[in-house]
Amino acid sequence: MMMVDGKVALVTGAGRGIGREIAVMLARHGARVVVNDVGASVGGEGTDQGPGAETVEAIRAAGGQAVLNTDSVTDRRGAETMVQTALDAFGRIDIVVNNAGILRDRIFHRMTEDEWDAVIAVHLKGSFNVSRAAANHFKEQESGAFVHMTSTSGLIGNFGQANYAAAKMGIAGLSRSIALDMSRFNVRSNCISPFAWSRMIGSIPTDTPAQAARVEKLKQMTPDKIAAVAVYLASDAAKEVTGQIFAVRNNEVFLMSQPRPIRGLHRDGGWTPETLAEEVGPAFRSMLVPLERSGDVFSWDPV
């Protein structure tokens, strides 16, 4: 079944890893693809056309259609050029996958402004830039799908990633707002929170046979598992799905909760600091969200 046959997709950060697998799978399901990648390091340094060109070649070798774009998502005009590349090469644009990202991890009290700005610029501003560049085209044709990458580092929490977590939570809010604003034009926007092996390899010890066996199991979390969900969300099969967040962990797919009130208290005449301490604190204490990390919530090995 060709899930996105005849559609045109733009995938950012498509030279390696998750982005590459999404681009390849979209093409396999009939989409014509603009492969965007600047070829930077994980930290965002440098440029290299090689990775993006390799993705394009892989798609073409399998009989698909793809073109390369090397503009940066951090640049508004670069984002507009990406969309124009789709229009020039294929005549339209139907799908945007905001996947480009970098990491500059640092414990918060040591994080620099540059480390903050660089990560926010690629993840959050980049997602806005590319989405905004495509939005008017989606509006005019009254169809389109955005798929954005968020993370449990923001949705749940992690050490040393304040910049990344803030950007990824921002993307969840951006996606929700796009879904609300553009639903009248049949435009959808959803998020994926991916679990990828590459994020875990540096922190998991393999000193014992049990640890080594667990690592081997974690290696099953390959990017194609995430790509499958991205292709589904980009397809007409998901035409009624918008404003949602999905987590993908090997063969597991989760629909993530979004903030909603869980308990309330009313007091005639309003509250004072003293009455809040006396009543609200004790009443809400058992429901306070604990300081957990992603691994605390997803505490079992991937299935």
Catalytic residues: 164
Amino acid at 4: V
| Chain centroid to CA 286 | 32
Is 126 in contact with 134 (CB distance < 8 Å)? no
Whether 27 contacts 62, CB under 8 Å: yes
> Residue with structure tokens 């204490």?
285
